[in-house]
Amino acid sequence: MITISLNKINELDKKLIDLAIKIREKSYCPYSNYAVGAALLAENDEFFLGCNIESSDYTLTTHAEMLAVDNMVQSGNRKIKKIAIALIGKGEIPATPCGLCRQKILEFDKEGNCEIIIANLNHNNEIVNITYFTLSELLPFSFNSSFLKYFLNFETSNNNQ
């Protein structure tokens, strides 16, 4: 984890953050009033956006990060380079993606090297700080497809006995 100021980040990261902040404005969050925007960069250098969309039945709520990933996949892309998320944190403490979103990002970043850039905003939508994480930092000991392969191999070898 590294926290830096806006004037010290590169142009590509600034663009991702700006896109995340802009899409955040389109969030539909009448129940929580907690707007989130996400902008991701795919392996082919295309940008994909998502914002949270709430439902009164919270199980139907769409998370911003998930929507950005879904938009990427619908376009035919399958690899995330980096993702910027804009949301309100608690002062200096950055808010981070929930466990579901971390797992969804992992599906398209098998190595856990994806940069996750958090633009921590205040209630005036001004950037308080920017924090960089890798997915591995946010999701250590993750559940991934290697467990399924192990299970399937284990089942197959036990059925042959």
Residues with a known catalytic role: 65
- Nearest to 16, CA basis, from 159, 132, 149: 132
CA distance 149 to 79: 21
- How far is residue 58 from each of residues 27, 31, 72, 120, measured CA to CA in Å? 15, 9, 24, 24
CA distance 149 to 55: 36
Cα pseudo-dihedral 6, 8, 13, 19, rounded to 10:
20
CA distance 26 to 29: 9
